[in-house]
Amino acid sequence: MTSSSGEKDFSRREFLVRSAKAGAAVALAGGVSAWLFDPEGPRAPSASESDLVTLPDFSVSGLDRKLSIIQGADRVKSLDVALKALGGIEAFVKRGDRVLVKVNAAFATPAILSATTNPDLLAEVCRRCLKAGAASVVVTDNPINDPESCFSLTGLREAAHSAGARVILPRAGFFRPTTVAGGSLIKDWPLLHTPFQGVTRLISIAPVKDHNRSGASMIMKNWYGLLGGRRNIFHQDIHNTIKELAMMVKPTLVILDGTTTMMTNGPTGGSLSDLKATNTLIVSADQVAADAVGATLLGKTVSDLPFILKAVEAGVGTADVESLRPVRASAV
Amino acid sequence: MSIVTVRRISQVFFLALFLWFCVVSSLGVESWQLRGWPVSWFLQLDPLVALGTILTTGTLYANLLWALVTVILTLILGRFFCGWVCPFGTMHHAVGYLGKRSKTLSEEIAGNRFHPLQSIKFWILVFLLSAGAGSLLALGIRQGFRSSPLLWMVFGGSIVIAALALGGMWGDRRKVGAVLIGLVGFWAATGFVFGGERMIGASLQTGLLDPIPLVYRSVNLALLPLADSSTHVLSVDQRYYEGAWLIGVLFVAALLMNLKIPRFYCRFVCPLGALFGVLARYSLWRIGKACSDCIQCGLCEQDCEGGCEPLGQIRIPDCVLCMNCLDGCKHQIIGYRTAPSASGEIVSPNLSRRGALMALASGVAVIPAVRLGGQLGANWNPGLIRPPGALPEEEFLKRCIKCGQCMRVCPTNIIHPAGFEAGLEGVWTPILNYRIGTSGCQLNCIACGHLCPTAAIRPLTLDEKKGLGTFEPSGPIRVGTAFVDHGRCLPWAMDRPCIVCQENCPVSPKAIFVREHYSTVRAGLVSVKSVARGRIELAERPFRPGEIATGDYFLAREGLQDGNRSLILENSEGAVTVQANGHAVPEPGEKVHVQVRLQRPQVDPSRCIGCGICEHECPVSGRRAIRVTAENESRSRRGSLLL
C-alpha cells in the first residue's frame, strides 16, 4: 500500500467494496437491458381479437314475434294497454333480472320538443320493471351533445331516479371494441360496454323522428348511441350501418313512441311546429317490425327506407307487420 | 386562544370556502353543484377588480360592491385580507412554513428582513392600473380640447393629486406635478395629432397578477382537472384547457418561491397587496410597539410574514397582519393598537418618484403599443370566438379579468384560456374551441355570463340568447358563422354522403340545409349488356359487390332528366339490381351512369348562430370540413356579413 503525500489513504478493502458496487451496477444495467431487449421494435398497430366484446342475445325465446300498436295520446295509458296485450312486462322481465334501458338522449333539449325519449314513458317502464322484480334498472346512452346536459335537460335523469333506476353517463373508460359478426362496417369499433355488465334484459325506448340522411330515426337508428369514437364517419353508409347496428343488438323489447312524431327539421327539431300528434305507441319484440310501423307515421313506406329492407335481408326481423298478427287497440 | 390561532382558523376557513366554491362551480342540481352558491364571491371582495373596472368603464358592476366592504375594513384594520382571508396568501403561508423548517433562528430573521425590491409590487400596481386608465385619459383629452380650460385644469389636477396620493409623495410636489403634467400633455398632444381615442385605449390587465383571479384560474383550470382525472367526481369525463400547463407552472412556481423567501409573491409581486398597502396608511389600528423599552431581541421578526420590520420602524404598507410578532414578543411590547409604534413607522410605500412615473407612463403607453398589430381594427382575428353575451372586443377587454370562471362552468368544456389569439392583452381571456369538449355551445345554456364577475360576458336570459319573446326582432345571439370547406367536405369534395352537420344543427329551422346533387361516380359511365326484370348486366366490372348498394346509388340513363333514375338495390361486380321504375329501365347497349345521391350542406348565415355543434361533430376529425369563425357575431359590426 503506497501512500505518497497528497494522496488519500485508500485501503484494499475500500477498493474491493467499490469494485463490488461497480460490478453490481454493471450487472443490474446488463440484466435490465437483457430483460427489456426488443430486437424487432413495435409492430403495426392492430386490434387483438381477444379484446373484442359482443353483446349477448337479450331476447326472450318464444316471445320474439310479439307486437302491439296502441292508439292514444297518453303514453302511460298506451303502455299499459300495450303491455297487457303482450302478456304484461312480467313476461319479459323476471324476478332478479338486471335491466338496461337504452334511451335516445341525443340532444340537450327539453322533453317537450320530442327530440329525445319521453321522460314519463321512461319512468313508467323503469317502475314496471322494478315492480316485476328486476334487481336493477340502469338507463344509458352516449348522446351527441354533452351527456350531463342531455340527461338533465331532457328530464331523463330525474325520470329514471324518480322510478328508482340508475343513470350511467358514458365516459372514456366505458367503451370496449366490438365487431359485428357478418358485418363489414362496424369493425373493432368502441362500444358503450361497461353499463351492460351483468345485464340480462335490454329495452330500447325511442321517439319517431325525421332524419334527413337515413330517412327516419326510430328504434334501429337508436342503437347508434351505443357507439363511441368519432362515429359520425358511419354516415357515409348510413343504411348498412343501421342494419349492422340492428344485427349487433338483440333486445328484449323495444318501445317506439309515436305519440308525437317529429316530421321536419330532424333529428334535432327545436320547435313545436316540427311536431305532429300521431298518437301511436308501438311495443314490439321485433325491432324491424317496430320501425316498419313507425315509418308510416312519417308518411313513408318501407321501400323509402333502405335500412329496413337491409335489416330484413340480414334476418334481423320482419317488415311484414301483419305476419306478426299485431294487437291493435286504443287506450282511452 | 391566541390571536395567531384565530388567524389560522380564519385562513383555513376562507381557503376551504374558496376550494368549496371551486368544487361547486359544476353545472348540476346536486347540493354540491352550482345552485346559487356565490362562487365568485372572492373575486367580488377583491377591490382591485372593482377599481380596475371603475377605471376602465366608469361603473361599479353589481356584486363588485362587495369590494367596498374590503376597502372599509382595510381602512379600519390594515391589510387584514392578506393575512386572514386571501386563499392564495394562505397557500403561500403554508408553503413558507415548509421552507422554514430547517432554518436556524438567525436565518429565519434574515429571511424576513425588508428587501428594497418589495417596492416592485407598487410598480406593478401602478403599471396595471394605468394600462386600464387609457380611456379615462382619452376622455380627459377630449374634454381638454372641447371644454373650458378650467375643467381641463380640474381634471389634470385631480390626476396629479390621485397619483401623488397613490405614491405617497406629497413632498416635492412641484417637480412631480411638472413631470406628470408634461406626460399628460404629451399624450394629449398625441391624441390631438393622431385623433386620440383610436390609439389610446384601456385594457384591464390586473387579472394577470391579481392573486384572486390568479388563484381561481390556477385551481379551476390546472389543479382540479388534474385532481379529478382519476376520480371523475366533478365532471363525467376529463376536462381539458388549452395552455393550462403554463397557468399551472406559474402557480406552482409562485408557491415554490416561498421555500426561498416566505410570502415571496405577497411581498414582491402582489398588486392587490400593494393596493391594500396604499390604503393601510390610513388604517385606524396597526401593529406597533407600546414603549421603547425594547431589548431588540429580534424574535418579532422570526415569523414576520410581510417582511415589514416590526423591530424598528414598522413598514405599514408591507404588514400583512399575520400577528406573529405579537406572539413572538416575549415582553408584550408589540401590540395591535391605534397609536403609532414607539419606534416609529413608515406609512408610505417604498416607491421612488421615477419608478412611479415610469410605471405610470409605460402602463399608459403599453396598450397602444400592443394594439399596433391592429387586432382591434382591420386585422381582427376571425378565430377569436367569444362566449355568447361577450361585449364588443374593446369593451370586453376593459372588463375581463381572466379569472376563468366561464371556462370552469362551461358544461361542454369549449371555453378555453386564449393564448395570443386576442393579442398580448387578451392572454387567458375566454375563447371557444369546438374541437375540445363534449359538444358545441349548447342552445339552452347561459351559464358563462351568469358566473362572469365583471359582465365582460353579459348575463343573458334564455329568451335573449335564443331570440324569443321580446328579443324576436333582434334575433338570437350569434357568436360566429359556420363555413363549409368545399375542399374537405365529404359530399362536396369526395362524392360521399354525410350531412352530419345538417342533422346536428340545433336551430329550427336549421341553419344548415342541403342541396341534392347526383354525381356520376368514378368509372361510373357503364354500358348495359342485358336487362332482365330489374337486373342489369354491365359490360364492365368496375364495382365491388355491395359497393353501390348502400341505398345512396342510382342508375341513370344518359340524357334523361330526373325521375329516370332508379335506386340500386344490389350489385355484384358486373351487374346491378334496381328498384322498379318504369321510365328508367335502360336498353341493352345503352350507356348509363352510376350516380351517388349527395346532399351537400349549405349554411344560411341568417340562421347560423355559430354554436359550433356542426364543427364538433364533423367526421373529418382533424381540420374540420365545417368550421366556425367569428364573422357575423352579434357583439360587433366589424364582421357583419348580412345586409
pLDDT band at B612 (very low <50, low <70, confident <90, very high): very high
Best A104, A112, A141, A145 member to test B by mutation, with max B CBs in 10 Å, is A145
C-beta atoms of B498 and A213 within 8 A: yes
Window 395-414 of B, Cβ < 8 Å to A: 411-413
- State residue B185's pLDDT score: 58
Residue A177's nearest CA partner among A166, A188, A167, A163 is A188
Residue A239: list chain B partners with CB under 8 A.
550-552
Q: Tell me the CA end-to-end span of chain A in Å, nearest whole number.
A: 112
- Comparing alpha-carbon positions, the chain B residue that sits nearest to A150 is B442
What's the complex ipTM? 0.86
**Grid cell of A102 as nine digits:** 337504452
In chain A, residues 268-327 whose CB comes closer than 8 Å to chain B: 268-271, 273-274, 303, 306-307, 309-310
Q: Which three cell numbers stand for residue B629?
A: 369563425
- Kindly determine whether residue B412 and residue A310, on different chains, have CB atoms separated by under 8 Å: no
Residue A49 pLDDT exceeds 80 = no
Contact A240/B at CB under 8 A: yes
Give the mean model confidence (pLDDT) for residues B205-216.
97
Closest CA to B346 of B119, B158, B7: B119
* The listed CATH number (3.20.20, 3.40.50, 2.40.10, 1.20.120) that belongs to domain B515-602: 2.40.10
How many CB atoms sit inside 10 A of residue B297's CB? 15
B436 in contact with A at a CB cutoff of 8 Å? no
Cβ(B168)–Cβ(B349) below 8 Å:
yes
- Round the average pLDDT of chain A to a whole number and report it: 93
d(CA A82, CA A121): 13
Q: How far apart are CA A147 and CA A106, in angstroms?
A: 8
**Contact indicator for B597, B554 with CB cutoff of 8 Å:** yes
Residue B421 and residue A141: Cα distance in Å, rounded? 36
Helix (H) or strand (E) holding B345: strand B345-346
Give chain A positions within 8 Å (CB) of B236. Answer: 147-148, 169-171
- The answer, for A89 touching chain B at a CB cutoff of 8 Å, is no
How far apart are the CA of B562 and the nearest CA of chain A, in angstroms?
Answer: 17
pLDDT in tens, A1-30: 444 555 677 889 999 999 999 999 999 999
CA distance B438 to chain A (A): 5
- B443 contacts in A (CB within 8 Å)? 108-109, 270
User: Cell 328484449 identifies what position?
Assistant: A252
B552–A contact, CB cutoff 8 A: yes
Q: Are strands B535-538 and B430-432 parallel, antiparallel or unpaired?
A: unpaired
Q: How far is CA B585 from CA B523, B546, B577, in A?
A: 20, 20, 11
**What residues in A contact B498, CB-CB < 8 Å?**
213, 232, 235-236
Cβ within 8 Å, pair B445-A148? no
- Note the pLDDT tens digit of each residue in B405-430: 999 999 999 999 999 999 999 999 99
Give the integer Cα–Cα distance in Å for A25 and A20.
9
Mean pLDDT of B324-353: 89
B210: its cell numbers: 391579481
Chain A residue whose CA is closest to B236: A171
Alpha carbons B494 and B487: distance in angstroms, whole number: 9
pLDDT digits (tens, 9 = 90+) for A142-156: 999 999 999 999 999
- Is 60 exceeded by the pLDDT of residue B169? no
Q: B164 pLDDT exceeds 70? A: no
pLDDT at residue B147, as a whole number: 58
- The pLDDT of residue B603 is 97
What average pLDDT does the structure give for chain B? 89
Q: Where in chain B is the domain with CATH 2.40.10?
A: 515-602
Q: Which of A146, A239, A309 sits opposite B439 (nearest CB)?
A: A146
Mean pLDDT for the stretch of residues B178-206: 63
pTM of the model: 0.88
Whether residues A145 and B438 touch (CB distance < 8 A) is answered with yes
Residue B75: HSE in the Cβ half-sphere, 13 Å Cα cutoff:
6
Q: Identify which of A27-36, B101-110, B197-206, B581-590 has the greatest average pLDDT.
A: A27-36
- B-chain CB neighbours of A233 within 8 Å are 619
Which of B144, B151, B176, B150 minimizes the C-alpha distance to B161? B176
Predicted confidence (pLDDT) at residue B404 exceeds the cutoff of 50:
yes
On whether the CB atoms of residues A203 and A101 are closer than 8 A, the answer is: yes
Per residue in B617-639, pLDDT (tens digit) is 999 999 999 999 999 999 988 88
**C-beta neighbour count of A233 within 10 angstroms:** 18
**Distance between B329 CA and the closest CA of chain A, angstroms:** 52
For residue B442, which of B16, B27, B12 has the smallest C-alpha distance?
Answer: B27
* Integer CA distances (angstroms), B119 to A117, B312, B350, B441, in order: 63, 18, 5, 45
Smallest Cα distance from B510 to chain A, Å:
6
A247-256: pLDDT as tens digits? 999 999 999 9
- CA torsion B398→B401→B402→B403, rounded to 10°? -150
Q: Decide which of B333 and B163 is more confident.
A: B333
- As a whole number of Å, the CA-based R_g of chain A is 28
Burial B141-163 (b: 16+ CB within 10 A, else e): beebeeeeeeebeebbeebbeeb
What is the SS3 string spanning A28-42?
Answer: HHHHHHHHHCCCCCC
Quote the pLDDT of residue B498: 96
Short-list A50, A46, A52, CA closest to A190: A52
Partners of residue A269 in chain B, C-beta under 8 Å = 508
Task: Pick the residue of B442, B465, B468, B598 with the most A CBs within 10 A to test the interface with A by mutation.
Answer: B442
% residues pLDDT > 90 (chain B): 68
Helix (H) and strand (E) counts in chain B: 25, 14
SS (H, E, C) chain A: CCCCCCCCCCCHHHHHHHHHHHHHHHHHHHHHHHHHCCCCCCCCCCCCHHHCECCCECCCCCCCCCEEEEECCCHHHHHHHHHHHCCCHHHCCCCCCEEEEEECCCCCCCHHHCCCCCHHHHHHHHHHHHHCCCCEEEEECCCCCCHHHHHHHCCHHHHHHHCCCEEECCCHHHEEEECCCCCCCCCCEEEECHHHCCCCEEEEEEEEEEECCCEEECHHHHHHHHECCCHHHHHHHHHHHHHHHHHHCECCEEEEEEEEEECCCCCCCCCHHHEEEEEEEEEECCHHHHHHHHHHHCCCCHHHCHHHHHHHHCCCCCCCHHHHCCEEEECC
Tell me which amino acid residue A255 is.
Answer: I
**8 Å CB contact of A232 and B552:** no
Lowest mean pLDDT among A101-105, A194-198, B477-481, B561-565: B561-565
Q: Measure in Å the smallest separation between the Cα of A134 and chain B Cα atoms.
A: 27
